[in-house]
Structure 1
Amino acid sequence: MPLIDVLVLEGASAASVAITFELIDVANRIRARAGRPPCFDVRVSGSGARWATQLARLPSKGSANRPADVVIVPGLAWMDEHLVRDGLQRRDADTARKALRAAFQSGAEIASSCSAVFLVASAGLLDGRRATTTWWLGPLFRQLFPRVTLDTDAMVLTDRRMATAGAAMAQLDLMLSIIARHAGPDLADSCARFLLLERRQSQSRYMALSFLTAADDRVSRAERWARARLHRAFTISELAKAAGLGVRTFARRCERATGLSPVRFLQKLRVDKAMELLETTRLGLDDIAEKVGYADPSTLRRLLNREKSPGARAVRKRDHGATLSRMHGARQPARRRRLPVSPGGTGSGSV
């Protein structure tokens, strides 16, 4: 069972700390409901450990005395340049830097969000790596840490055991990425649905897949390229080219990062978008199929039903409505041509 060490400094964001423990607890409870052992052990360290332990209602004694597998630094309340510069000079920040270096040397993954990324960068652990942080502190970050390649447009970035996330709900995004990598994308998706179903239903299903692609910058690049073009057909060869890779290399990296072949990866992107449209618009299935690149709605219907999801239930309801319309003599659209689909994970047919 992976051990998560939550490193909390005094004055850390209460929301960020609470989200960290909440996601760990939710993941463990979902596993318990399935009759399985918990997926994470947890302990707290840092100058704010006592406060965080009380906030999370954890036992005061550390739960494990062994090297951590993951060290998480929740967001800090350093919201402007003055607070960042002063915060990095604090004695507890220096202690935290030593702890982070030791944990990384022992093989731990280091994860941070928002202004906490500054603390990790000040330990020299992000030099030569890609990272993200809160966008309005981007200019200061580039000034202080020129050896780090900063991408403030990214939600979550993972680069060789270093995970960073941006602002707003960054800690939530970061925790879901950790759950996806260490306990599986299905559990991460279940956690997202458990916590966000009412308010962010249409976005939650994207999270696990996006977090998995974040581990490989080329696969992440392909995902962004594909999402912008889901309304049209394109080949796996085009997708691989967008990632700057050959077809076979892209297939290997795609499957290693996501567990899906390129064909299934692209199908999932299209189905995810279709589910969003089913749940957030009044469009019919024919129109939705066209918007996600399927000329034949029956292809989309088959893929949605394979998901066994709320989107599939929506399809069945709409099918029932269409049946009633036919019974009342409603005119039905002509059957459309089905797009070719590559049968293999490295094929070049449109998907």
Structure 2
Amino acid sequence: MLPTTILALDGALATSVAITIDVLAMANRICRRVGRPDAFDVRLVGSGAHLFRPFLAFPEAQHDCPSLFIVPAQGLSKAESYAARLAEPDAEAARTLIRAAATGGAQIASSCTGTLLLASAGLLDGRRATTAWWLAPIFGELFPAVALDTAELVLSDGAITTAGAAMAQMDLMVGLVARHAGAEIAEGCTRTMILDERRSQIPYMAIGLLAASNESIARAATWARARLGDGIGVNDIAVAIGQSPRTFSRRVLAATGLSPIRFLQQLRVEQAIELIETTPLPFEEIAFRVGYSDPSTLRDLIRRGAGLGPRELRARARSAEARTLPPPPGVALPA
């Protein structure tokens, strides 16, 4: 069995920790079902661990040298500030455990606000990492040495794997099960727990929310949205808000965690998806309106981010609309 440690601080996000426990328990159960020994030997640590021990479906391990150290979402936003919460004694104790595990050769995995703990331990400096897309501005401010890419849902760099917003913990756990227990066991978890395949945070990003922390970047987003069909580029946006391209690049990265090109690309994808879901316009017309002369480029970006093509997105939107419409006259609702 793989010695596995789960960290839970006081205030840790219950759903994220519970997902971690449940997926590992399911993996062990499926292993036994197919005649294999349990894959994971699990221990809970941290100031909030006692709250989750009643949910363990197996005896808790007592190992001190894990091979896998998992840091789910830690609910750090409940504090006055992220920096203040990361400075508290239990967070410092957690960093000691994380560093010791890394020094001992453990693989480290984390999602959402848990990635702030990894970054504060210095483990992400110079590495590619992801986190919850809405954490990008504060993450970049606190840990500029990290190569952050919040478009990714799950991202591995060496022995460290990071994931996006809290529910991405499910995707992270299935990936860890596949890595350590095999594809068959991971597929069994996915099928039994009815998990959807998601590959990116792009469909869930909202540039307006990301840019809200910086007035000039918010103005840039507003200016660009009105002109996407005019073939504008990054330099045009910078000039429009009175900044040099270099200054604009620096500020958009700090405010959104995206490069200027990705920032503009995301604006185009957001507007395209809105038009797909709310209008009957042909996709070729939508591509033209958001600045793509080649519809296939936009189609690929949408499918890569959303996991669905334009036709599927439109069908899903129509299905959702049909479920919310009032019944025709004379049709009674079910009791």
TM-score range, shorter chain: 0.5 to 0.7
Answer whether contact 2:25 2:57 (CA < 8 A) is retained.
no
Q: Check 1:190–1:57 CA distance in 2 against 1; reply closer, same or farther (3 A cut).
A: closer
Q: Please state if 1:110 is matched with 2:121.
A: no
1:46 aligned onto 2:46 = yes
Partner of 2:69: 71
Partner AA of 1:34 in structure 2: V
Instruction: State the partner residue of 1:34.
Output: 34
* Maintained 8 Å contact 1:18/1:56: no
Question: How do residues 169-180 of structure 1 correspond to structure 2 at under 5 angstroms?
Answer: 169-180=167-178
- Preserved contact between residue 5 and residue 44 of structure 2 (Cα < 8 Å): yes
| Structure 2 counterparts to residues 173-322 of structure 1, below 5 A | 173-196=171-194, 200=196, 203=197
AA aligned to 1:13 is: L
Q: Is the 8 A contact 2:79 2:85 kept in 1?
A: no
Task: Tell me the equivalent position of 1:231.
Answer: none
Q: Counterpart amino acid of 2:157?
A: D
CA offsets, 1:263-299, max 9 Å, x none? xxxxxx9xx999xx8xx99xxxxxxxxxxxxxxxxxx
* Paired letter, 2:10: E
C-alpha distance in 2 between matches for 1:56 and 1:190: 20
Unaligned runs of 5+ in 1: 208-268, 282-351
- The SS at the match of 1:142 is helix
Higher relative contact order (CA 8 A, sep 6+): 2
Match of 1:227 in 2: none
CA contact (8 A) 1:81 1:140 kept: no
* Alignment-mate amino acid for residue 189 of structure 1: E
Q: Is the 8 A contact 2:111 2:166 kept in 1?
A: no
Deviation, structure 1 residue 84: 1.5
CA distance in 1, matches of 2:78, 2:133: 11
Shift of 1:58: 4.9
How far off its partner does 1:69 sit? Answer: 0.4
Distance 1:148 1:80 in 2: 24
Whole-Å separation in 1 of the counterparts to 2:14 and 2:58? 15
Measured after TM superposition, the shift of residue 25 of structure 1 is 0.5
Rounded to whole Å, the distance in 2 between the matches of 1:133 and 1:152 is 6
- CA distance in 1 between counterparts of 2:10 and 2:79 reads 18
SS of residue paired to 1:4: strand
Q: Describe the shift of the 1:186–1:83 C-alpha distance in structure 2 as closer, same or farther (beyond 3 A).
A: farther
CA displacement 1:295-340 (0-9 Å, x = unmatched): xxxxxxxxxxxxxxxxxxxxxxxxxxxxxxxxxxxxxxxxxxxxxx
Corresponding residue of 2:10: 10
Please say which of residues 43-52 and 23-32 is displaced more in the overlay.
43-52
Name 2:137's counterpart in structure 1: 139
RMSD: 2.6
Q: In structure 2, what residue type is equivalent to 1:4?
A: T
- After TM superposition, give the deviation of residue 80 of structure 1 in Å: 7.3
Does residue 20 (structure 1) correspond to residue 20 (structure 2)? The answer is: yes
Deviation at 1:81, TM superposition (A): 8.4
**CA distance in 2 between partners of 1:80 and 1:151 (Å):** 24
TM-score after normalising by structure 2: 0.57
3-state SS, counterpart of residue 30 of structure 1: helix
Contact 2:154 / 2:172 at 8 angstroms: preserved in 1? yes
Structure 2 unaligned runs (5+)? 201-303, 317-335
Contact 2:131 2:150 in 1 (8 A): yes
| Structure 1 partner of 2:154 | 156
Q: Deviations over 1:174-200 (max 9, x none)?
A: 111111111122321221111016xx4
Question: Is this contact kept in 2: 1:121–1:127, CA < 8 A?
Answer: yes
Please give the alpha-carbon distance, in whole angstroms, between the structure 1 residues aligned to 2:72 and 2:34: 29
- Number of the residue aligned with 1:284: none
Q: 2:129, 2:148 within 8 Å by CA — same for their partners in 1?
A: yes
Report deviation, 1:85: 1.8
Q: Do the aligned residues in 2 keep the contact of 1:131 with 1:149 (CA within 8 Å)?
A: yes
Q: Size of the alignment, in residue pairs? A: 208
- Matches of 2:124 and 2:8, distance apart in 1: 19
The 8 Å contact of residues 154 and 162 in structure 2, kept in 1 or not, is answered as: yes
Deviation by residue 1:227-280 (Cα, 9 ceiling, x = unmatched) = xxxxxxxxxxxxxxxxxxxxxxxxxxxxxxxxxxxxxxxxxx9xx999xx8xx9
C-alpha distance in 2, partners of 1:81/1:181? 34
Q: Once the 2 structures are TM-superposed, how far is the Cα of residue 89 of structure 1 from its aligned partner?
A: 1.1
The sequence identity of aligned pairs, in percent, is 46
